[in-house]
Chain A
């Protein structure tokens, strides 16, 4: 059922016809007559009212409501529009400017490379820091140091490595952090790998938790970005980056949450309830809940009864895998809003980002081969991986070939007529904890 709204021409026609009945001697269709002006003027007013009625019709249903009306629908579900949020994370400060033992008080302001002010949220002290490496290996001129636990280092810092039997590994190096417990640096020579002895790194540093003083996506900073303070010098962003900054929730994701809530039968820890709780963290765009199975072994990959395993993605962030801080926020939201049942402990709630299986796409032929068509194909693939691809589901060759075949160049209106894809040449196989994503797109034409 849909309401039919008359057009301006139809309304003007009706009014003219009525005019003719009432005043038969006057022809209200003659241009320039006052009668025609009267009919047209009234038709415009009538249509203005139609527009209001049409807008009200949209606001009557959550599927089409907008702005404050959508807020009202959210109220029925006890769901509020998510506020804009500020980026949070940790930065590392060495002793280049401030000496060992210097205390950096809470609420100290650092200016980011993006010009935004970040304020520390806890006291930190520059202390002598060292960690024994569990392995130190080499590939070419790149040495990779892996610690037994997470470090608080940031890309761009200088560390002193010592204790390796092979002297080439020892010295002062600028590092690149590649994981929460790993960093790499460049060495000269070709010492034996792995290094022997007891390699250890040393530096004087403080790890400072910070929060942006503004909100929005622009407050996010990637690993290695610089933040400066006149007194304490330049600090660097740790591996996880400063993340979680997002704008106020727009109508579409808010509507999706409202619709999910309306379709969810309230229970205890139902997958949809857990999913809703996960989506209540600003910036989380996709949440997958894994079902438990008996005798699975337990843990986030194979949850057992009583456990719940949740995977989160953030499509609007530079790195769609959530940081540790966002994972912690999401876990809290699930425990608080998801109605944790009596047979589960907080430790039974596992939250993490899925492992991305990036698939490179290589085209050797495309017709019509135009820049706009290439862009259209790229947009089709981005949308395919964001909207169609499911967590832990193998992506069949037929599904991505079909998506590409349906590409329409919105600039010219042309549809794709033929293409040759050399990679991937088969289904994209996905296993536990994984999701397929779009890798590099190459045109070898």
Chain B
């Protein structure tokens, strides 16, 4: 899947990559996975009680009609201690926000594994089986609140 290429800069923040006079582009799922994992989806009322604290992203308004939004709920876990529960939630949130890839037949299947990396970070392994049965592996390091980055 051809998309604009975004990469973490020296501070760990994702940014556009410039190629000459244009944005750089890349074939693959790296950009799409990062976009889905780290765009804030609006939290449902059961997750976050106060409406003004539910975040979300304005660009999603076009998709509200059919109930599909870009992004996930990993942001809810920003301040959480890393426990087994947190890892399970992280895996579920990651699976949910990547569901569109199989729904839209962009990929044949998507598998997510979440492991604790050290005391302050987790690694999100995303294995994408493409339509031609190639398996692509992506590892996303999610560390503290703002220092998320792809390491492969």
Contacts and interface: CB of A to CB of B under 8 A. Distances in A.
A26 B62 contact: no
Contacts of A31: 63, 68, 70, 100, 104
A32 B70 CA distance: 6
Interface of B: 1-4, 6, 22-23, 25, 31-32, 34-36, 39, 57-63, 68, 70, 100-101, 104, 106
B35 A34 contact: yes
Contact of B32 (A9, A32, A43): A32
Interface string A11-48: 01000000000110111001111111110110111000
Nearest to B99: A32
Contacts of B104: 30-32
A34 B62 contact: no
Contacts of B106: 30, 32
Could you tell me the dominant secondary structure of chain A's interface residues? Answer: helix
* Interface core residue of B3, B60, B70 (most chain A CB under 10 Å): B3
A323 to B, nearest CB: 47
Given A25-B25, A43-B59, A44-B58, A34 B6 contact: yes
A8 interface: yes
Contacts of B36: 32
Nearest to A40: B59
Nearest to A33: B3
Given A32-B106, A34-B3, A34-B35, A44 B100 contact: no
19 contacts: A8-B61, A22-B22, A23-B4, A25-B25, A26-B4, A27-B2, A30-B1, A30-B106, A31-B104, A32-B32, A32-B70, A32-B104, A33-B31, A33-B35, A35-B4, A37-B70, A41-B57, A43-B62, A45-B58
Contacts of A41: 57-59
Nearest to B21: A22
A12 B62 contact: yes
Given A31-B63, A34-B32, 8 more contacts: A23-B22, A32-B106, A33-B4, A34-B6, A36-B70, A40-B62, A41-B57, A41-B59
- Contact size range, A: 20 to 34
A32 B61 contact: no
Contacts of A9: 62
A50 B68 CA distance: 25
A36 B1 CA distance: 13
Contacts of A40: 59-60, 62
A93 B25 CA distance: 89
B145 to A, nearest CB: 21
A22 B104 CA distance: 25
Given A23-B22, A23-B23, A25-B25, A32 B4 contact: no
A9 B104 CA distance: 21
B105 to A, nearest CB: 11
Contacts of A33: 1, 3-4, 31-32, 35
A45 B59 CA distance: 9
B33 to A, nearest CB: 9
A27 to B, nearest CB: 7
Given A31-B104, A32-B36, A33-B35, A26 B59 contact: no
A-B complex: 3 closest residue pairs judged by Cβ atoms? A40-B59, A41-B59, A44-B58
A179 B78 CA distance: 75
Nearest to A44: B58
Interface in A234-250: none
B81 to A, nearest CB: 31
A23 B16 CA distance: 14
B150 to A, nearest CB: 13
Nearest to A9: B62
A170 B75 CA distance: 87
Given A32-B35, A38-B4, A23 B25 contact: yes
Contacts of A27: 2
A38 B39 CA distance: 12
Given A34-B32, A37-B39, A40-B59, A26 B22 contact: no
Nearest to A39: B59
B6 to A, nearest CB: 6
Interface in A284-333: none
Nearest to A45: B58
Given A32-B106, A37-B35, A26 B25 contact: yes
B108 to A, nearest CB: 15
Contacts of A35: 3-4
Contacts of B101: 32
A22 B16 CA distance: 15
Given A31-B104, A32-B32, A32-B36, A25 B2 contact: yes
A22 to B, nearest CB: 7
A402 to B, nearest CB: 42
Contacts of B59: 37, 40-41, 43-44
* Interface core residue of A26, A32, A43 (most chain B CB under 10 Å): A32
Nearest to B57: A41
A15 B59 CA distance: 13
